């Protein structure tokens, strides 16, 4: 009996000691006899403010979530040969036959991403990399309905794509003005990270105007610390009004997961690209016709400038809008259409986002004096992407441009050489590894190429598996190269 009572006795001693200690603490620190519930340390006003904030964030999330969709894509991947070092042995090849190892094999690859409904009739904004090369696109709404998505248009240069589903009266999100975003402003990121539908995270605007990230050609990213993870791409970044201010695109991470730095394409840029894709089937960008560079302390001193803000005109293209307006080499552009020009990236984005045939005023500094000129922006001409559905051959994924005087000068191409210059080659292009950026294509299958029009005419007639012979001008020499089906 004593053995049974002893633990109870000991426990009773600790219980009494605990009560005494509690009384001592409460008398010293002024706690109520009710016990420490936290009521005395949090004011009523603070609780009301936080409750209102919580309710406001929840209300914004609830209003916006129906506009965010899940996008799943499937594409066919072709592989050549069997991935094993043993099958490169001549004995195995003689025994089994070369066809077994060299015959192309196909398999399906799936991907997950997000999208944002921007029109009640079924238009959806997402990232180009979410639906790139997809054979099939499925769109799942917040109400669990699923639709087959159709690609209306893509723009690799901004990583924007427009997808449409056959549906009506959808909950379209409102666009906000991304130009008015301020660092520190509260935002919500909504998407489907790792396939987890309609995940909401909160944060602030960490920075605006981020460039040189290496994601797209035209970069003007919003940086946020709202958690963005794989699968969030194409999702919505919204402000406290529930307005779309960005399309979540990428993260800066050493682990592959969230580390506090995410990037979103500004809604103003995304909307301009979307409108152009829907109305014209392509992205129409403005063109000024200047080669520009950022200012350095040395250049500021040489040109007798007051600051490093602005861009230096290194060259002016012949017969361009800039030349017609009187812009000269050595001018420093400090303002474009009423907006301050801080660097070359900023001016490039401003010009590209200007509708062709629009007249804008450009403020510049020439020989220490301020001057304003009026320029009529024209359309970027001569650039095509030979990776569209029209060119399903070995030149798929190759982008070219007319050989302009300024390009000739920068690449040191003689006047006697005609052709088109390669501006980009996609990683999955059959020409990747054979052709190079800045190659000048002079001939295709023994046919002379003088401009983009010639290029289009010849390439459009090449069959998917037809070998291609090209005459190139590369780094001062002329060479023949062939593209063959692997």
Quick one: pLDDT at residue 137?
93
pLDDT, tens digit (0-9, with 9 covering 90-100), for 167-183 = 999 999 999 999 899 99
More confidently predicted of 138 and 406: 138
- List of domains in the chain: 65-274 (2.40.10.120), 286-379 (2.30.42.10), 384-483 (2.30.42.10)
CA distance 402 to 419: 7
CB burial of residue 93 (10 Å; 0-12, 13-18, 19+): middle
Overall average pLDDT of the 383-407 stretch: 70
Quick one: pLDDT at residue 423?
83
pLDDT, tens digit (0-9, with 9 covering 90-100), for 193-217 = 887 888 999 999 999 888 777 767 7
Residue 184's pLDDT band (boundaries 50, 70, 90)?
very high
Q: Which residues pair with 202 in a beta bridge?
A: 188
Overall average pLDDT of the 150-156 stretch: 91
236-238/186-191 β-pairing: antiparallel
Residue 190's pLDDT band (boundaries 50, 70, 90)?
very high
Residue 23's pLDDT band (boundaries 50, 70, 90)?
very low
Residue 157's pLDDT band (boundaries 50, 70, 90)?
confident
- Residue 357 to residues 196, 321, 332, 341: CA-CA distances in angstroms? 45, 10, 23, 21
Which DSSP string do the residues of 282-332 spell out, in sequence order? S---EE--EEEEE--HHHHHHTT-S-S-SEEEEEE-TTSHHHHHT--TT-E
At residue 31, the 3 state secondary structure works out as: coil
Query: Residues 170, 175, 176, CA angle at the centre, nearest 5°?
Result: 150
455: pLDDT strictly greater than 50:
yes
Residue 192's pLDDT band (boundaries 50, 70, 90)?
confident
pTM of this structure? 0.67
Residue keyed to tokens 């769109």: 139
Quick one: pLDDT at residue 40?
57
Overall average pLDDT of the 293-306 stretch: 86
389: pLDDT strictly greater than 50:
no
Q: Which two tokens stand for residue 104?
A: 């192309």
Q: Are 11 and 18 in contact (CB under 8 A)?
A: no
10: pLDDT strictly greater than 50:
no
Q: Which two tokens stand for residue 96?
A: 């089994």
- Residue 192 to residues 147, 186, 257: CA-CA distances in angstroms? 17, 20, 14
CA distance 397 to 156: 11
CA distance 237 to 264: 7
Which conformational region is residue 209 in: left (phi greater than 0), alpha (psi within -120 to 50 degrees), or beta?
left
Quick one: pLDDT at residue 116?
96
Which of 156, 149, 91 has its CA nearest to residue 124? 149
Q: Are 467 and 446 in contact (CB under 8 A)?
A: no
Which of 361, 379, 384, 408 has its CA nearest to residue 320? 379
pLDDT, tens digit (0-9, with 9 covering 90-100), for 413-429 = 888 899 999 988 877 78
Dmax (CA) of the chain: 113
- In what helix (H) or strand (E) does residue 98 lie, and over which residues does it extend? helix 98-102
Quick one: pLDDT at residue 96?
56
174-175/243-251 β-pairing: parallel
Quick one: pLDDT at residue 16?
45
Q: Are 310 and 365 in contact (CB under 8 A)?
A: yes
User: Which of 304-308, 318-322, 448-452 shows the highest mean pLDDT?
Assistant: 448-452
pLDDT, tens digit (0-9, with 9 covering 90-100), for 70-84 = 999 888 766 655 555
Residue 220's pLDDT band (boundaries 50, 70, 90)?
confident
Which of 462, 461, 463, 441 has its CA nearest to residue 452? 441
Positions marked catalytic: 129, 159, 233
Altogether, the residues listed in the chain come to a count of 486
Q: Are 332 and 311 in contact (CB under 8 A)?
A: yes
At residue 2, the 3 state secondary structure works out as: helix
- Residue 164 to residues 117, 153, 161: CA-CA distances in angstroms? 9, 10, 10
> CB neighbours of 425 closer than 8 A, spacing ≥ 6?
397, 398, 399, 431, 432, 435, 436, 437
CA distance 338 to 449: 42
33: pLDDT strictly greater than 60:
no
412: pLDDT strictly greater than 90:
no
Residues of the chain with pLDDT > 90, as a percent, come to 43
Residue 8's pLDDT band (boundaries 50, 70, 90)?
very low
pLDDT, tens digit (0-9, with 9 covering 90-100), for 312-370 = 998 888 788 999 999 998 999 999 999 999 888 889 889 988 889 999 999 999 988 89
What dihedral do alpha carbons 206, 209, 214, 215 form, nearest 10°? 80
CA distance 44 to 38: 12
């Amino acid at each position: 009996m004593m053995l049974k009572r002893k633990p109870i006795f000991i426990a009773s001693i600790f219980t009494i000691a605990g009560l005494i200690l509690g009384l001592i603490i409460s008398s010293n620190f002024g706690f109520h006899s009710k016990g420490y519930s936290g009521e005395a340390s949090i004011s009523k006003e603070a609780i009301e403010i936080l409750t209102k904030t919580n309710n406001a964030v929840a209300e914004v999330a609830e209003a916006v979530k129906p506009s965010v969709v899940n996008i799943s894509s499937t594409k066919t991947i072709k592989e050549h040969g069997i991935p094993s070092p043993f099958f490169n042995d001549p004995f195995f090849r003689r025994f089994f036959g070369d066809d077994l190892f060299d015959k192309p094999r196909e398999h399906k690859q799936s991907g997950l991403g997000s999208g944002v409904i921007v029109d009640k009739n079924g238009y959806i904004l997402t990232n180009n990399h979410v639906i790139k090369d997809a054979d099939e696109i499925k769109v799942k709404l917040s109400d669990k309905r699923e639709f087959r998505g159709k690609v209306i248009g893509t723009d690799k240069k901004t990583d924007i794509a427009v997808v449409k589903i056959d549906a009506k009266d959808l909950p379209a999100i409102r666009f906000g003005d991304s130009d008015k975003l301020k660092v520190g402003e509260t935002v919500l990121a909504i998407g489907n990270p790792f396939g987890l539908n309609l995940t909401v995270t909160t944060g602030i605007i960490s920075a605006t105007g981020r460039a040189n990230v290496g994601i797209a050609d035209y970069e003007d990213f919003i940086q946020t610390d709202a958690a963005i993870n794989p699968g969030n791409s194409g999702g919505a970044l919204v402000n406290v009004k529930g307005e779309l201010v960005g399309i979540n695109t990428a993260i800066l991470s050493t682990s592959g997961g969230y580390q506090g730095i995410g990037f979103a394409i500004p809604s103003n840029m995304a909307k301009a690209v979307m409108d152009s894709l829907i109305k014209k089937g392509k992205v129409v960008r403005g063109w000024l016709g200047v080669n520009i560079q950022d200012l350095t302390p040395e250049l500021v001193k040489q040109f007798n400038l007051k600051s490093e803000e602005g861009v230096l005109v290194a060259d002016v293209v012949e017969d361009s809008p800039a030349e017609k307006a009187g812009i000269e080499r050595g001018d420093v552009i400090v303002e474009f259409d009423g907006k301050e020009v801080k660097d070359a990236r900023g001016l490039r984005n401003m010009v590209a986002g200007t509708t062709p045939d629009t007249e804008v005023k450009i403020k510049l500094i020439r020989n220490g004096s301020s001057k304003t000129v009026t320029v009529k922006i024209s359309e970027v001409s001569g650039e095509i992407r030979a990776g569209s559905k029209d060119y399903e051959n070995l030149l798929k994924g190759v982008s070219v441009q007319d050989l302009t005087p300024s390009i000739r000068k920068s690449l040191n191409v003689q006047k006697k050489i005609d052709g088109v210059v390669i501006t980009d080659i996609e990683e999955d292009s059959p020409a990747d590894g054979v052709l190079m950026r800045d190659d000048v294509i002079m001939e295709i299958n023994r046919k002379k190429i003088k401009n983009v029009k010639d290029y289009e005419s010849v390439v459009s007639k090449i069959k998917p598996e037809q070998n291609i012979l090209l005459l190139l001008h590369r780094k001062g020499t002329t060479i023949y190269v062939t593209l063959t089906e692997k």
